[in-house]
Chain A
């Protein structure tokens, strides 16, 4: 990625009795939506906590919007960031939404009341209700309006669609697309909702076991990773090992071999040259790809 980075992590490590995060070196490009995808316990939330300075790394360095974390006063930096947490605390549940808003806006010089009102209208949220009485989805929509009302340059979203019904989900996607339209804003989100990543992300970061397994441009990822089905008596499992980019070979019964490749185009040309006829092909889903990457990482750690 040669683009300007909104977030830069270099050699970041954090050791905990039950979990080792990193070393992570990663750049989140400015002007794009990047999704961190990974199973539970892969280090997504720990990474978010580091970015928000809710915890500190043991080693390495984090730079956000040009400001190195831990370097003096970061109030100004925080004013340029919007954050939507995955879970909300219980301490404010007896508070009305409007009250929390009044408290929050004091921290942001760029707070825009009209923008906030507009978002509440679009999301159909009434902020005079107590936070504890809001449904999970309403609470999320309220918090997203709160996170967007000061026109942040960087938006951090932890599982943004959790709890939203399908219609609210579409509204949220629309709001986020519009947010990005100006071209110089950045979203980093953690998600394991496949459809959400497909609809929003430009770049995908795979995480597993506290490490970054790979960073991909989304469309390239989906056009490169395909599964081929080969049905031939002459073509064996052993032959399949020579297919470019192959990472999984399995027999699916009935004499058919399924081969997953991460170089679909090269693999297709190779098969054509070898005169192997394809019985079928399939583009892979995000979770299929994640499963392969996790498996490869597991084998790498073991060896």
Chain B
């Protein structure tokens, strides 16, 4: 009973994921082929319009096309989320692998630095950095990277520390593999699954962070079509034209949900044992 349930859930996840990926691909194609509006083009004669063929999602309080802004917001929000994530992984993983593999003083030094970063909550760092360097999406990204790299460093380190004591690492050494080759051939396959799962779950959190900080004015600045910033701009019209808040809100929920599903799916996929059991 339980196993049937699990398989069904996995299949449901797959279907759901595929549907979303197709949807997003379609949206992307639509955005590039059919996009006919300038996201910042202000036309006060056409403000707060309802749905129409001309404006499928209507227009906002400055007469800008909502669909165009939501689509470009995808590029902005998800794009910046990805960028922050990639940089955090690119900084954290090598530091963690080196700390775990070398051990000793190097390990202790790197991990104390990581602990120091871990002590600050991400929102606080973002707010402080915005206060010091000025509000803007670049400073927000910097704050996210500063906070997130630690997770990847710790994950990579703990995986490497567990695995490097195993006999197959000794065998690889006996078989003449260099340290770099051992890291690449033997440790990397162990890392990639963990990292991808954590990263895809983190993507949702990072997008939420970007949007929520943009909403309170610390991230992307208007007129950038960032979803959180759009929510903020739509606030005064909440009661009269709720669609202005619903569309960006739905976009955020969709992407965060997608990122969590992707995390689940990847976790199953990289678990060799589970794959075989199915």
* Chains A and B form a bound pair: no
- What residues of chain B have their CB less than 8 Å away from a CB belonging to chain A? none
